[in-house]
Amino acid sequence: MRIERIGREPDYSRYMDLKEGWLDRRIFSDADIYEEELYRIFARSWLFVAHESQIPSSGDFLTTHMGEDAVIVARQPDGSIRVMLNSCPHRGNKVCFADAGNTRRFVCNYHGWAFDTAGDLKGMHEEYCYDAGDIDFKNHGLKNVAKVGNYKGLVFATFNSDAPSLEAWLGDFRWYLDMILDNEEGGTEFIGGCIKSVISANWKFGVENFIGDAYHAGWTHDSGARSMNNGQPFPPIDMQNSYHASMNGHGWEFGTEGVGDLVLLGRPKVMDYYNKIRPKMAERLGEMRSKIFGSVASASIFPNVSFLPGISTFRQWQPKGPMQFELKTWVIVNKAMPDDIKEEVTKGVMQTFGPGGTFEMDDGENWENCTTVNRGVVTRHERLHYRCGIGREIEHDTLPGIVYRGQYNDANQRGFYQRWLDMMTHDEFGKMPARPEPRLGNVAETRDLPGLFAL
């Protein structure tokens, strides 16, 4: 499947100078830029569509979006997963209106066209009205995406047949991802349902906040932190032993004290659980990663997935226009967790980053105001400042990626927008520079890394 865009191709580099540390505000509200994002970023990237635990059995399905394209994600009888457009090829009607379920057929409610869970057309209402040669069943099923991939339970899909492998797309970021996906034997699962909320803000504000903006937390979330921590303020940041790490637009900002986010979750039993498994985590992933996990941290996978590894909220920012997104939120836990600890995690997530959580409400208000104010006809021509920590890049013996010292930093945000610019500028993946060159090479499993990465 090749997605071709015919139209204007402006010079997107004029909207930012990341070496100098500034962005043009128009990228957050301009309708033409947003339309190009749908083609150049969402139609070409690997996008998260499900956790495999959501569709464990044959016939299980869920519906979601890839950019603004509605899709169905369905488990097949052979255990594989198919992702297909949720649009009937007859008149384009939405085929499946359910959020999730189990089925043998998807049937369009307009004219009764019926498709199996692989998307193949199997029949329709009053089929006799089609004469021989009127319709080729094989070519009128639900359009499948070009590729589907699974990284340790996270299912991704892409419309782009020329996209690199999912492993190559994630690259060295797998070293960090495994802290949340593989810190204990058995992997992870989503528990409970999906919470949806609509926020009148540009989707990039949510992603950039989670990819690197620890700076806002001590001010924006001060009252929330005090309410969750017996009146104590947000934990102080050790600027010498905290970092930003960015790889091709993916990013993780973090401390190394191992407890900050677990404290903010406000659930002592969860803290005890992770302290108990931490020695085994060190054996499994190495000492450095066992110290990072549980620290004040946040992360994003380019283009539109974010999570808080210590707090266990996992979320996706679904674009709904230049000035609105739908936020989908789940709770991610280790499968091996006792049920009572899973319940404690769920309660902690709802109290902090649920729709009525002590922290979530603060962020949504800020992002909405940033979006609406930035579109003023004079205001939109003023530059935004992204220079914090611009001179603190370091070489680190253990940490992969482009690494900056100090958690209060704009480094990962600059890395995210650099990949945004790469995607908006280059027509072919092969012409996009690696940022940085990968250090993990062809290593398939980060637990098996030799030498310095095993520290």
Q: Which residues are catalytic?
A: 111, 213, 216, 221, 363
Residue 271 CA: distances (Å) to CA of 54, 212, 296, 310: 26, 24, 13, 10
Distance CA 50, CA 64 (A): 8
List, edge to edge, every strand of the sheet that includes 22-24: 16-17, 22-24, 383-385
Question: In sequence order, what are the beta bridge partners of 64?
Answer: 71
303 cis-preceded (ω within 30 degrees of 0): yes
Chain centroid offset of residue 114 CA: 32
SS3 call for 449: coil
Measured in degrees and rounded to the nearest 5, phi and psi for residue 385 equal: -90, 125
Q: Is residue 441 within 8 Å of residue 434, measured between CB atoms? A: no
Range 121-150 burial, b when 16+ CB lie within 10 A, else e = beebeeeeeeeeeebeeeebbbbbbbbbbe
Q: Cβ–Cβ contacts within 10 Å for residue 233, how many? A: 12
Distance CA 290, CA 198 (A): 35
The residue to which tokens 């690997």 are assigned: 46
* Dihedral of the alpha carbons of 190, 191, 193, 199, in degrees to the nearest 10: -60
Measured in degrees and rounded to the nearest 5, phi and psi for residue 217 equal: -65, -45
Cβ-count burial of 253 within 10 angstroms (0-12 exposed, 13-18 middle, 19+ buried)?
A: buried
Q: What is the DSSP string of 29-55?
A: T-HHHHHHHIIIIITTS-EEEEEGGGS
Minimal CA–CA distance to 370: which of 203, 214, 205? Answer: 205
Distance CA 171, CA 298 (A): 18
Minimal CA–CA distance to 293: which of 260, 341, 268? Answer: 260
